[in-house]
Chains A and B, each alone.
Chain A
């Protein structure tokens, strides 16, 4: 079955770095755009970044632009998020999600279970 499993979360000090990973299985990973979406504790959902199937196109939320870098390795069926210069407001559960397309319409499905990133001194 289709599965996305995130890892790499943890406690990091402000200004520190962390690299999240998302392992995909059960579908042809290299055919799909992939995204990171986060959710601060008790808050709503915030899209963070997406990457095209061949890595030729990436996009970021203004809140993380210049600090986070999304990448993928299609040979390893893996998605990554390199997070630098972390701030307290980056504390959240980070989900990876596949982006499905139908004509010009797109949506996030499925989602991984999430990994918690806590930025605190």
Chain B
């Protein structure tokens, strides 16, 4: 199985900050990497698919990059509604999610 790690596990940031979350796969997964946002008590929501494609309706401040084993999710200017937990997920083989990164208010 391909395992996923994320860093940091949590971070504190202010509105307007640029935030970067890293996801690493235990072996190369090309661009088979998706990002989700989850708010407390809610279902996850797709943000980015195929490493860098923005899902329809998702604000353009979200972007994804990377290929192979190393990937990043960037929020260019953090907004109040972006405080949430973010998960990466590989779709190269049997689906696996990263452990999540919680973004909270500084």
Contact = CB atoms under 8 A, between A and B. Distances in A.
A107 B98 contact: no
A112 B95 contact: no
Contacts of A32: none
Contacts of B49: 100, 102, 105, 107, 109
Contacts of A105: 31-32, 49-50, 91
Interface of B is mostly: loop
A107 B55 CA distance: 11
Interface in B48-106: 49-50, 55, 87, 89, 91, 94-100
B30 to A, nearest CB: 9
Contacts of A100: 49
B16 interface: no
Given A95-B43, A113-B43, A107 B100 contact: no
A45 B97 contact: yes
Interface of A is mostly: strand
B31 A45 contact: no
Interface in B32-53: 32, 34, 36, 38, 42-46, 49-50
Contact of A47 (B38, B45, B95, B100): B95
A5 B50 CA distance: 26
A82 B43 CA distance: 21
Most chain B beta-carbon contacts within 10 A, residue among A35, A44, A102, A104:
A44
B34 A47 contact: no
A46 B50 contact: no
Interface in A38-70: 44-47, 50, 59, 61
B91 A106 contact: yes
B94 A108 contact: no
Contact of A45 (B32, B42, B44, B55): B44
5 contacts: A44-B99, A47-B94, A47-B97, A102-B50, A108-B34
